[in-house]
Structure formats: C-alpha cells, structure tokens
Amino acid sequence: MDHFLYREGRLHAEDVALAEIAASVGTPFYVYSTATLQRHYRLFEEALTGMDHLICFALKASSNLAVIRTLANLGAGADVVSLGEYLKAKAAGVPGDRIVFSGVGKTKDEMRAALEGGIRQFNVESEPELLALNEVALSLGKRAPITVRVNPDVDAKTHEKIATGKKENKFGIPISRARAVYAEAAALKGIEVVGIDVHIGSQLTDLAPFAEAYGKVAELTEVLRADGHNIHRLDLGGGLGIPYERSNTAPPLPIEYGAVIRDKLGHLGCEIEIEPGRLIAGNAGIMVSRVIYVKSGEERDFLILDAAMNDLVRPSMYGAHHDILPLDEPQPGTLPQPYDVVGPVCETGDTFARQRPLPPMVAGDLVAFRSAGAYGAVMASEYNTRPLIPEVLVKGDQFAVIRERPTYDEMIKRDSIPSWL
C-alpha cells in the first residue's frame, strides 16, 4: 500500500498534504510515513512466522530516534555499526539484548561500551578483532557473545559499491577459513560462540544469490556443529531491494525471501536474525524540494532546486534513480518535457536526474523525491555550509518535526578560532 498519494490534486503523506508541511518547516525536508514503516516491518514478521527469529532494523539506513522508536515499539531489534548507532538504539528504547553490533572496524572503546551497556552479539569480521574483543571482555570479567561473519564469495549482482559478499570485498573472513577461526574463538576465555553471520550486499533484486549464500551457511553449520561448536543462531544480514522506479518489475517480496530461508536453513533448528534497513525505510520516506529557477540552456532545460547532493547523495554517489513527482497533480493531458534536475552546489555531480520527463515547471513549484527514506538523511552533510534539512514524521493526520534544521549561527558556533589568530 502506498501512503504517498494524490488527494484532490495535492500529494499527501498519509492524511497530511505535503504542501502544508512545506509551509510550516520550509524546504527542503524529509518526511516519513509511520504506516509504511509499520507495514514493512510486519511483512518481515509474516515472512518468518513459525520460525524463532528476530528482526534487527539496520540503523545505517535511517537512524532518527523517532523512526527507531516506531519500529522498537513493534518488537524490532537493531543492527548497529558504530557506538553512535548503539547509543541511539538504546535511547530509542531498544534493549541491549536486542542489539547486534556489526562493522569491520569496531574499536576497543566501542566493544567496552557495548559489553557494559548490554549487547546481543558482536558480528566479528576478522581475527584481529576477535583477539581485541577477547581482551576487552576479560578486562571486564565478561564473555562476549559472537558470530563470525563469513564471506561466501557470492556475487550479489548489485552495485559494486554495496556488494559485500565477494572475496575481494573487505567484509568477513573467507568461508574456507571458518573452521580455523571458530576453533580459535572457542579457545578464548572471553568469547562465547553463538552462531554464524553472513551478509552479501544491499539492494538485491534476485533471490538466487541469497539461496546460494544460505546454502553455504547451512553446510558450514553442520561442519561447525560436528566440530563441537554450539551454533544456534544464524544472522543472515539484510539486502532485499526496493523498487526505485515504479515502472520496473518489482523486486521479490519478504514472503518470498522468507521461503528461501525456510528452504535452505529451516531444518537446522536455529534462531534466525535478519537485518533489513532499506526495505523497511526506503519507500517510507520522501524528500520534498522547491524549484528555485527554471534555466534554459542551448540543448536542455534545467530545474534548479533548493535541495542538493549534500541532502540526497545517492544519485551523485551511485548514479541512483529516484522518481520525482510534482506536489500538484498534473492535469489530464499535460504533456511532459525533459529537464535536467540539479541542485545549487558547485559540482557538476550535483545532478539528480538527466532529461527526466516532468510536467512543465516554474519557479516556486514543489517536487517530491520518492523512495528517499533509506540512505537519505543519514548520508547527508553540510557541504557548502548548507544546513542539514529537517526530518518530519507523519502519523495519520498528524505530523511532527523529528529533527530540526540548524541555524547558521549554530553551525558557525561549532567551530573555534585558536588564540593566535
């Protein structure tokens, strides 16, 4: 169900007209739909019905406290990759025993904070990390629960910058070395082996790579159990893709993904953890921007917006597509015309779309970028000294600002000038 629809000619988020939010908070801004977040989480719950499982929302996709709290209230855990994300998850109400700590570069300070604050498990990515974690755990008189992230050398058939399961990627240990690393872990007094972790990439639109990777995990589970390890938990990562272009074939549904998990791993009797981020949050959010100028060039026309690559970096970084809609519904029979949709940052890369067919636009018109709820606000920056844009949460006919736009004074006061200047 789509919760961003036209009603009486105006684009809404649930029951709130987006133009009303724009008038209240200014542009650009992000807005999220509570109903969409809840629905997408429940789709994963339904997909894993009957299996012992935990759905850990990947905070790297969207880390606003209100978004996390919305999902935590439904029972979600959290997948975190930094101490900041760990503390945000705790602040949003996720208990430590529902937080999984991932990432290739965990520091000893991060390990210590998580062990002291409570943690479900560490997904260990390397032998040096394993030894460091053991040292920290022993210093605290604790045992750290771990899975080892194995790299199955599976091509996820996704963008090269978000593929994580091939042997040339930085993530995990080669699956061929798993037995040796698990033996090493079992000999460490500060470590408790609880399972296996695998994650092959993001924005996957084909279930075959999942099936291949999970088949390898199933085989490894049997081998490690035969070696005497208590493998009772399988962390399968996230990665299921979303439809960024509505005209394209829809990616697999969570229920189909769940069927792959049952087929490949259901016989093992393990607790299943998954770490979706994009599929829960991606289509739950949009970014709204205003046209500053319509500029006519020699060969093309440009829509110059008040949003820029620092606000939504995916098109610049990944060449990613986002559908763009006017907030005022075009009249029937309106003929589109092609525009290059760009921002005001002094970079040619500050381009959202090239020759995108849109209704004729004028300065002051509002547009919405769909599917911007994941890897949108979390990847934003203040490049060109542009303030981070507000985030807004909608629930029914209500909306609330869940992160305010900083003032220029606030931004400037973060810097300090040394005494010799």
Kindly report, residue by residue over 37-64, the tens digit of the pLDDT.
999 999 999 999 999 999 999 999 999 9
* Residue 219 shares a structural domain with residue 344: no
Range(s) of the domain holding residue 316: 4-31+282-413
Task: Give the per-residue pLDDT at 251.
Answer: 85
Kindly report, residue by residue over 314-362, the tens digit of the pLDDT.
999 999 999 999 999 999 999 999 999 999 999 999 999 999 999 999 9
Task: Give the per-residue pLDDT at 164.
Answer: 45
Kindly report, residue by residue over 357-377, the tens digit of the pLDDT.
999 999 999 999 999 999 999
* Residue 270 shares a structural domain with residue 361: no
Task: Give the per-residue pLDDT at 165.
Answer: 43
DSSP string, 258-321: HHHHHHHHGGG-PEEEE---HHHHGGGEEEEEEEEEEEE-SS-EEEEES--TTT--HHHHH---
Q: Is residue 199 part of a domain?
A: yes
* Residue 257 shares a structural domain with residue 123: yes
Single out the residue in 227, 254, 274 at which a domain terminates: 274
* Residue 121 shares a structural domain with residue 139: yes
* Residue 264 shares a structural domain with residue 295: no
Confidence tier at 158 by pLDDT (50, 70, 90): very low
Which residues have a Cβ under 8 Å from the Cβ of 26 and sit 6 or more positions away?
390, 405
Q: Are 374 and 278 in contact (CB under 8 A)?
A: yes
pTM: 0.94
* Residue 134 shares a structural domain with residue 19: no
Single out the residue in 274, 296, 331 at which a domain terminates: 274
Active site residues: 346
Kindly report, residue by residue over 281-301, the tens digit of the pLDDT.
999 999 999 999 999 988 899
The percent of residues in the chain predicted with pLDDT above 90, rounded, is 89
3-state helix, strand, coil in the chain (%, to 5): 35, 25, 40
- Pick the more confident residue, 98 or 158: 98
Q: Are 277 and 61 in contact (CB under 8 A)?
A: yes
Model confidence at 155: pLDDT above 70 = no
* Residue 149 shares a structural domain with residue 165: yes
Q: Is residue 313 part of a domain?
A: yes
Model confidence at 409: pLDDT above 70 = yes
Q: Is residue 301 part of a domain?
A: yes
Single out the residue in 274, 296, 316 at which a domain terminates: 274
